[in-house]
A = this chain, B = another copy of it.
Amino acid sequence: MDGYDKYAFEPFAVTVDLAVFTIRDGALHVLLVERGQEPYAGRWALPGGFVRPEESAETAARRELAEETGLQDVSGLHLEQLRTYSEPGRDPRMRVVSVAFTALLPDAPEAHGGSDAARARWTPYDAARNLAFDHDRILADAHERIGAKLEYTCLATRFCPPEFTLGELQQVYETVWGTTLDRPNFRRKVLATPGFVEAVPGGARLTGGRGKPAALYRAGPATTLHPPLLRPTSEGRTA
């Protein structure tokens, strides 16, 4: 931050890009918009936009999240800065530095594409490839980040509605990690972690499921998991 008068500085455009995840039909989905203009016209991209003069990147990201999802209240949603992408050639028109964010939604509200985004669509994560700009990379980084954070935080409840069953919570882990987990062991771990989930006073779910009705839980006050809930095959990674 020193030397303002020693080097001239180039003006940059600053944008935010959002990797918005949800779980739909037991599969991880991400919100994409279709680009209407060059470059990358017709290609899918992460939602985002310019940071306005009076905004911070976080404020801009939450504004874009509201616009793209069409949700009335996005204040309770989990929004987290991922990292900043600043490679000189990442936008062919001009020098754009983009601050990427990750957001987690409980369930997919189908109605969206509020303001400027031409078409917005929930896309299965595995099908979200060949995106515009460096968005493939951003999306992969975001996926890796949330997978890692599930291990040592209570983030998984952010994918769930206000009241949920342990089976739904387990499905969050299985969907993001792409693995299966032993149900009794998962249950034991979650219930043994104080503040992770709290039982709903007198409720059990009946109608939907095919099997025995499951108890309902809410997200607890805890934010971190000690000890962590490690992925089955996350051992011995050398690189």
Contact (Cβ within 8 A) B10 A53? yes
- 26 A-B contact pairs sorted by A residue (CB < 8 Å): A1-B35, A1-B91, A2-B37, A2-B117, A4-B37, A6-B116, A7-B50, A9-B50, A10-B53, A12-B14, A12-B97, A54-B88, A56-B88, A57-B86, A58-B86, A81-B83, A86-B99, A97-B97, A97-B99, A152-B152, A194-B236, A195-B236, A222-B237, A223-B237, A223-B238, A224-B237
Contacts of A46 in B (CB 8 A): 1
In the bound complex, how far is the Cα of B236 from the Cα of A53, in angstroms? 40
Instruction: Look across to chain B and name the residue whose beta carbon is closest to the beta carbon of A34.
Output: B2
Q: Which of A20-28, A184-192, A225-233 contacts B (4 or more CB under 8 A)?
A: A225-233
Contact (Cβ within 8 A) A1 B57? no
A-to-B contact residues, CB < 8 Å: 1-7, 9-15, 17, 33, 35-37, 45-58, 81, 83-84, 86-88, 91, 93, 95-99, 116-118, 132-133, 135, 152, 194-195, 221-224, 226-228, 230, 234-239
Contact (Cβ within 8 A) A53 B95? yes
Contact (Cβ within 8 A) B226 A10? no
Q: Which 9 A-B pairs have the closest CB atoms?
A: A11-B11, A57-B86, A10-B53, A9-B50, A3-B116, A226-B235, A84-B84, A12-B14, A56-B86
Contacts of A224 in B (CB 8 A): 237
Contacts of A9 in B (CB 8 A): 13-14, 50-52
Contacts of A239 in B (CB 8 A): 223
Contacts of A227 in B (CB 8 A): 227, 230
